[in-house]
A and B are shown apart, each in its own frame.
Chain A
């Protein structure tokens, strides 16, 4: 817990990338998120923690409108990306998702080659005008996801043939290939073994240089290791939000304290 890195965290103020105000989410008649306000900063890793079922994934999926794909799900409130309302009828979710990428809990490579997995986003969005450019994007993304060395000799083999940790890094490469501004990660390490987890965590820290990263995690150690900001959710409410070091050392709310010290969860 008293990781040295906690104290040497860079505390500079960053620009606010995404801003949520008064967000409520309903599944049919059940309210899963109650009146949540959050600011997501640029070049920062923000961690969402909280007991299972408290609505972390639900809220995360609001940020790139993935909840649109669930019929019964209804989102109200105001969520802005660079001061632009992402729920504005003018905004096409396709455009939004190109800017706000997502990595899922279970690695979900497409049943295509490694190359095609990574090239898929740039291809559909028309980010490359020729094969050479596309190759470059693929290589850059794979490098950025720290899987280039393992994958470079087998680019034409199916992505589903990789190991779990490699698959997850492939999915990260796929997500960064479209050059998003925000990267959402929903428990990206929960299906991975400790070594793969360490690799992905290291990667997340590097990704912060170029993206604003939001990560949902089950593990408080992980939140402490990788994030600068932490939001604690409980029963659909945002209980506490602040600097990670402060949340873990000096929580303001008793519920946060109970959770961190292992009394709820």
Chain B
């Protein structure tokens, strides 16, 4: 290398590069920090929303998990309630009298109407049922714990605030004084709200429970599982292991991928027109709901099953084929068992989605007002998400907190199902 000049020129331009980089470096790093900042900001927003969502649900919903009750000594006055006239007995008056006993300040005549409203409308039926069970109670004094009506329940839980002006408060001053008197007498209690899980829906928030919805969702999910699981697995095995690569199997694939993205409300239209309109299946029935959900869940199960089958290494198939097993035997005796954990995981996740699905159930009428739990999958019923929808539409304060509580129950189920899926995945996941 005798020519020195190009080398020197090169040094200079190298230095120019170094200088340029140095000059711009701080600015470029700042730019990158800004990008990172935006990214963190986006994540913070997502987290904040999730936090607000959960916090607002818990804040409005936790009160629905307890219910204000009053414990009364009730004299079953034979003058009001007789064995012959049981269905028409004056259960309400008997209870009102029992409350009045604890309110020395109240006038039994004038205030009876107001005092009566302290108790839930369901209290009289509770008393009636008890006496129908054991008519010998007539004439005796029994101790009974009954729920309070929604305004008083809310007053006790803080949902009705004492510092709001009387004319904007659902409980007037007189009623507040009565409640305080009962409270002072030590007969007000706030136990866990079993009714939330053992009652069906009701027009009275303090009596409304999720039993109907839970049973309805159970039937619907069971139907969905019994249909979607075998059909989904069958379809997946065929497409993954047996289907020749031809137009038909391509067409089926495209179909499945598209079905997975069809809006759920369209499945509702399908169910309404075909299952109810053409086949004459009953409206509002969990069976029809389950059928609809099965059609929606099937693509999920098929896709998960195919992925699980694909994950089984070819060496297993070759080994089995090598000892003379038929293709069917290889698939059903070797591949399928190995793929089962993955299939189950996908199925559970699909069922969890189905559990939260609302729109198609609305269209087939699973948002009816039904005050008893279904006894079969063909009875009219609601489901957990549609019950949430119904309650969210009801203006009473008590229903707001019950809506949140129902959502918390629903989310609880979803967390549980996803937890099981994750557990299965971790426990049986094999690295080949």
A–B interface present (Cβ within 8 A): yes
Interface residues of B in 6-22 (CB under 8 A from A): 6-7, 10, 13-14, 16-18, 20-22
Q: List, in ascending order, chain A residues with CB within 8 A of B13's CB.
A: 179
Given known contacts A12-B1, A124-B28, A126-B24, A98 and B6 CB-to-CB distance under 8 angstroms: no
Q: Does B53 contact A (CB under 8 A)?
A: no
User: Closest A-chain residue to B7, C-beta based?
Assistant: A43
Of residues B6, B14, B22, B29, which shows the largest number of chain A Cβ atoms within 10 Å of its Cβ? B14
Interface residues of A in 66-101 (CB under 8 A from B): 92, 94-95, 98-99
8 Å CB contact of B16 from A43, A94, A127: A127
Q: Is there contact, CB below 8 Å, between B24 and A125?
A: yes
CB distance from A246 to the nearest CB of B (A): 21
Q: List, in ascending order, chain B residues with CB within 8 A of A10's CB.
A: 1
Interface residues of A in 2-19 (CB under 8 A from B): 10, 12
Q: Is there contact, CB below 8 Å, between B1 and A95?
A: no
Q: List, in ascending order, chain B residues with CB within 8 A of A126's CB.
A: 20-21, 23-24
> Chain B's interface: helix, strand, loop or mixed, by majority?
helix
Interface residue ranges, A against B (CB under 8 Å): 10, 12, 43, 92, 94-95, 98-99, 124-127, 178-181, 209-210
Q: Does B50 contact A (CB under 8 A)?
A: no
> Chain A's interface: helix, strand, loop or mixed, by majority?
loop
CA distance A210 to B12 in the complex (A): 12
Q: List, in ascending order, chain B residues with CB within 8 A of A127's CB.
A: 16-17, 20
Q: Is there contact, CB below 8 Å, between A125 and B6?
A: no
CA distance A127 to B6 in the complex (A): 19
Q: List, in ascending order, chain B residues with CB within 8 A of A180's CB.
A: 14, 17
Q: Is there contact, CB below 8 Å, between B18 and A210?
A: no
User: Closest B-chain residue to A179, C-beta based?
Assistant: B17
Q: List, in ascending order, chain B residues with CB within 8 A of A43's CB.
A: 1, 7
CB distance from A134 to the nearest CB of B (A): 13
8 Å CB contact of B22 from A95, A178, A181: A95
Q: List, in ascending order, chain A residues with CB within 8 A of B10's CB.
A: 210
Given known contacts A12-B1, A125-B24, A179-B13, A95 and B18 CB-to-CB distance under 8 angstroms: yes
CA distance A112 to B16 in the complex (A): 27
Task: Give 18 CB contacts A-B under 8 Å.
Answer: A12-B1, A43-B7, A92-B25, A94-B25, A94-B28, A94-B29, A95-B18, A95-B22, A95-B25, A98-B18, A99-B14, A99-B17, A125-B21, A126-B20, A127-B20, A179-B14, A180-B17, A210-B10
CB distance from A150 to the nearest CB of B (A): 25
CB distance from A13 to the nearest CB of B (A): 11
Of residues B1, B16, B23, B29, which shows the largest number of chain A Cβ atoms within 10 Å of its Cβ? B1
Q: List, in ascending order, chain B residues with CB within 8 A of A99's CB.
A: 14, 17-18
Q: List, in ascending order, chain A residues with CB within 8 A of B6's CB.
A: 209-210
CA distance A123 to B28 in the complex (A): 12
User: Closest B-chain residue to A209, C-beta based?
Assistant: B6
B58-82, CB under 8 A of A: which get 1 and which 0?
0000000000000000000000000
CA distance A249 to B59 in the complex (A): 83
CB distance from B17 to the nearest CB of A (A): 5
CA distance A125 to B17 in the complex (A): 8
Q: List, in ascending order, chain A residues with CB within 8 A of B24's CB.
A: 125-126
Q: List, in ascending order, chain B residues with CB within 8 A of A210's CB.
A: 6, 10
* 19 more A-B residue pairs beyond the given contacts A10-B1, A125-B24, with a C-beta to C-beta distance below 8 A: A43-B7, A94-B25, A94-B28, A94-B29, A95-B22, A95-B25, A98-B21, A124-B28, A125-B20, A125-B21, A126-B21, A126-B24, A127-B20, A179-B14, A179-B16, A179-B17, A180-B14, A181-B14, A210-B6
List the 10 closest A-B pairs by CB distance, nearest first: A126-B24, A179-B17, A98-B21, A95-B21, A126-B20, A125-B21, A210-B10, A181-B14, A179-B13, A127-B20
User: Closest B-chain residue to A211, C-beta based?
Assistant: B10
User: Closest A-chain residue to B32, C-beta based?
Assistant: A94
Q: List, in ascending order, chain B residues with CB within 8 A of A94's CB.
A: 21, 25, 28-29
B21-44, CB under 8 A of A: which get 1 and which 0?
111110011000000000000000
CA distance A168 to B324 in the complex (A): 50
